[in-house]
Structure 1
């Protein structure tokens, strides 16, 4: 997907403040993390990473504290390519979440490695 320049500039402005982890880093420590898919509902329905919970980008800031009141909960966020999850991770950091990271390359990176996906 081709992204618009303003969106890319926004992502680039927050990336230095967001920790990213690779698929391999996530796999090494997956038991220690809660995995959140921040993609749209239709993307989630087409397939998602194993162990993931869905909390779409449009509602994550609104609902995160209800689902994860402990702001030290280790969270890995992913989207299609890593941009929306970086923005969401940044916002959660602003909200006080101290152990939130973004999965580099997101769902696309997972698929490129031919790792399993789930369908609900």
Structure 2
């Protein structure tokens, strides 16, 4: 565990530590979400088979890696912006969210309007999360 109890890994550099920490934490949440949905689906239908379990595990890995990657990109970009600007404030979250939204969207779509819309959405969500985090 890295200093302060905040980071779960220590790769020797704050950028790498925060990026890996974001990947691991959010990736785990994504995988747990899929596990819960898969469990509910199997219990609801009363159908549990080896094939269904294997598919659920594959989906857990895929979703965990996807959401972990998104979080890792966001945390890494926000940290980089913080270092470049020399300030830790809501603008870093906004820029991190916008860049992450645009990158994730660009990977999945060639539609420019979709990419811009997701950049705006990412910026709004990250800025709101920043403000909510600092309310306490």
Q: TM-score range by the shorter chain?
A: under 0.3
TM-score (norm 1): 0.25
Computing the radius of gyration over CA atoms, which structure comes out larger, 1 or 2?
2
TM-score (norm 2): 0.23
Bigger helix share? 2
Tell me which of the two structures has the higher relative contact order, counting C-alpha pairs closer than 8 angstroms and 6 or more residues apart. 1
Bigger strand share? 1
